[in-house]
Amino acid sequence: MVEVRNVHKRFGDLEVLKGIDLTVNRGKIISIIGPSGSGKSTLLRSVNHLEVIDEGIILLDGVQVNRPDMKGLAFERHINNIRQNMGMVFQHFNLFPHLSTIDNVTLAPRKLKGMDNKTARDLGMEQLERVGLAEKADVFPNWLSGGQKQRVAIARALAMKPKVMLFDEATSALDPELVEEVNLVMRSLADEQMTMLIVTHEMGFARDVSDWALFMDGGVVVEECTPDKLFSNPDQERTRNFLQKHLGNNH
């Protein structure tokens, strides 16, 4: 579903991605862990072209995302089509404060897919139901907790019926007691076999839901394997040191 081949990204003199390769098969869940500044969020943002890579190829379902050969309006149309198939959930919810919950969820299907109001509302209610917030449909974002806002952001991404969901530290801005309600929604998506690429610092969650896990550090994939192997018995010293620091002796 997603293929990343030899991807490099520089910010000035700093190379933050140094030749990353990654394959995400349909219906699989891949978690990416690693210290701050390791390049994991940059990698995720590069997948849907929020960061423009300097070298390499990124494919979504066989279609090349980055098209250095394409310019202007043609590229804009191309990338908008691609993004309709990728749901992205950020650390911060980015909900429109002047729109109700349901209007936040249905805005993209109405504007981008030309859906009529009734069809969009039915779809929006279905997605809010999925994240356990149907009763909050007509409430405005400032009346929601952080966890509820993040669940609305997930519903909004799902309303576009994406082929893949990208989660960039989706729970890191939340109070600890709100983290689990967002994780539960992500677990239910995992049960539905939604293809997901998750950057997270929630080690237990990554271990439980992922089919495959990557540890990144210094702009490279240091190690990748099944989550059980990565968290219980990693091969690389760097991985062991990182987990030791984050999990104490529990891993």
pLDDT tens per residue across span 168-208: 999 988 888 889 999 999 999 999 999 999 999 999 999 99
**Is 100's pLDDT higher than 50?**
yes
Is the model more confident about 121 or about 112? Answer: 121
**Is 249's pLDDT higher than 50?**
no
What is the share, in percent, of the chain residues with pLDDT greater than 90?
86
**Is 5's pLDDT higher than 90?**
yes
Average of per-residue pLDDT across 47-74: 94
**Is 250's pLDDT higher than 90?**
no
Report the range of poorest mean pLDDT among 28-32, 64-68, 237-241, 243-247.
Answer: 243-247
Residue-level pLDDT at 38: 94
Average of per-residue pLDDT across 35-53: 95
Domain boundaries, the chain: 96-161
**Is 55's pLDDT higher than 80?**
yes
Residue-level pLDDT at 231: 94
Instruction: Report the amino acid identity of residue 37.
Output: G
Task: Using pLDDT thresholds of 50, 70 and 90, give the confidence band for residue 248.
Answer: low
Average pLDDT, the chain: 93
Residue-level pLDDT at 223: 96
Give the Å distances, CA to CA, from 112 to 59, 84, 99, 160, 217.
Answer: 22, 8, 17, 9, 37
Residue-level pLDDT at 251: 41
Residue-level pLDDT at 247: 76
Residue-level pLDDT at 246: 81
Classify residue 251 by burial, with Cβ atoms within 10 Å: 0-12, 13-18, 19+: middle
Distance of CA 47 to the CA centre of its chain: 10
Average of per-residue pLDDT across 60-64: 95
Is the model more confident about 188 or about 251? Answer: 188
Give the Å distances, CA to CA, from 3 to 68, 189, 201, 243.
Answer: 17, 21, 23, 27
Average of per-residue pLDDT across 148-175: 94
Average of per-residue pLDDT across 227-248: 91
**Torsional sign, CA 45, 47, 50, 55:** positive
Instruction: Report the amino acid identity of residue 116.
Output: D
**Is 230's pLDDT higher than 90?**
yes
